[in-house]
Amino acid sequence: MLDLARRTFRKYENEGVSETLAAGWEIVFRKKLLKQHISPKIIRRSPYTTLHQSELVDTYSTRWMNDLEENIKVNIPPKTWVSPSKTFSDVEQYTIDSSAISEIDDVTLLGPVALGIADEQLIGDTIAPPSLLDNRLEVAVSQIIEAHGFKWTYDTILSDDEIHSRLPNLGTVCPLIPLWSNYYHWIVECILKLRGVEYYQETTGHVPTIVIPPDIPSWAKETLELMGVNPTDCIEFEGRGYQVDKLIVPTYPEPTPSEYRWLRKKAISAVDLKNKGGERIYISRRNATRRRIINESTVIETLNELGFSAYVLEDLSVSDQIQLFSDAEIIVGPHGAGFTNMLFSNDPIILEIFGDRIKTTFYRLAKIAGHEYHYLSGKSNGIDIQVEPDQLKKVLVDLIGV
């Protein structure tokens, strides 16, 4: 209870009353009630099966992007928290499949998450990769219930074709709609889909309309512009959903090594690099609601001795972050979305700081990108982390010298 109160106060300090109330509503209503109790019941009663990209190829027009894929197979664990008694190597791993792009006619897109339904089948790649589908589907349905009510969601997901037919129509589209609106989910799970869109345009000559969430933040608009997409040419997802003539479905990004290289090349070419060379970066979470480093001032003093500079990434534009991370020698910080920026780096060392539990998210990204990865376990203190400066210094000296 004390941890929740602390997070709430920090949210209020950073973003004000309305955002704090919205976050509280999400935790209590959507996460606790809808996702855990209501969504699973609707999903179990639904007559729909779920298709992923490997299955779409048997039914719909699909282009495998094998000519873009490098002959590199990477084994990664699923995104998950790992108990203190285990390491990442203890988690069962799987091989990432090649990417593809599918065309599906006559699709219903349910808002606000753009969950696709066609021929009484849920299109899994509109919301998740196979390894995360069960959880993501519950999240998606809970968001639909919250936005449009239980009855409408129940009737629609239990195959009410009349409801589908009353939705407004769109032509050929590709949605970039994350289930969560933070930097990681937008870059990794949405922006990377543009590689498939680019391939589709080059191989067919057709240009799908990009569908984005309403009122996306300025940094999200900036990423679109850096990727060559004008936000004003996109459609903002409004209302309960759409009936779509043709849905363009890229493989949901894990991502693959070639997708990493595509993103880095696009990002680097879009900014005016002025590399100083060998940046030693510490990512601060001093403005975050959780996973702050309690003794950060002491930690930063230790890092400064080793040539590090501390950055609060929310204070930087996306272009500035690309500039900063493009030539990073080493990136250090507590677990958080800022590590997404390793995708703009060439060959950095990653040192991620955890409390009592570790999570595979950025270990996965580092493996995919071919970066050297290490982690340091600090001590959880409620929702924050205590780091022993001498221990941190010893680890860093072993990694990079002085």
Task: Tell whether 147 is covered by a domain.
Answer: no
Q: How far apart are CA 259 and CA 220, in angstroms?
A: 19
203 shares its domain with 324: no
- Return the closest-CA partner of residue 291 out of 226, 365, 396, 361: 361
Task: Tell whether 317 is covered by a domain.
Answer: yes
297 shares its domain with 361: yes
95 shares its domain with 182: yes
pLDDT of 125 reads: 94
User: Quick one: average pLDDT of 268-276?
Assistant: 86
pLDDT digits (tens, 9 = 90+) for 1-45: 555 556 555 554 565 656 555 555 566 666 778 888 899 889 888
Task: Tell whether 266 is covered by a domain.
Answer: no
Q: Among 192, 226, 255, identify where a domain stops.
A: 255
242 shares its domain with 282: no
pLDDT at 69 over 70: no
In the three-class reduction of DSSP (H, G, I as helix; E, B as strand; rest coil), residue 60 is classed as coil
CA triple 183-321-270, angle to 5 deg: 100
227 shares its domain with 115: yes
Residue the block writes with tokens 């870059």: 187
- Return the closest-CA partner of residue 109 out of 246, 204, 304: 246
378 shares its domain with 233: no
Task: Tell whether 361 is covered by a domain.
Answer: yes
Q: Among 255, 290, 325, identify where a domain stops.
A: 255
Adjacent-strand bridge partners of 279? 328
pLDDT of 12 reads: 46
Task: Tell whether 350 is covered by a domain.
Answer: yes
Contact 272, 246 (CB under 8 A): no
pLDDT digits (tens, 9 = 90+) for 295-319: 999 999 999 999 999 999 999 999 9
User: Quick one: average pLDDT of 203-228?
Assistant: 97
φ, ψ for residue 210 (rounded to 5)?
Answer: -85, 130
Q: Among 220, 255, 290, identify where a domain stops.
A: 255
Number of compact structural domains in the chain:
2
Residue-number span of the structural domain to which 173 is assigned: 47-128+153-255
Q: How far apart are CA 64 and CA 72, in angstroms?
A: 16
Query: How many C-beta atoms lie closer than 10 Å to residue 203's C-beta?
Result: 12
Task: Tell whether 29 is covered by a domain.
Answer: no
Q: How far apart are CA 113 and CA 153, in angstroms?
A: 13
Q: Write the single-letter amino acid at 48.
A: Y
Contact 42, 322 (CB under 8 A): no
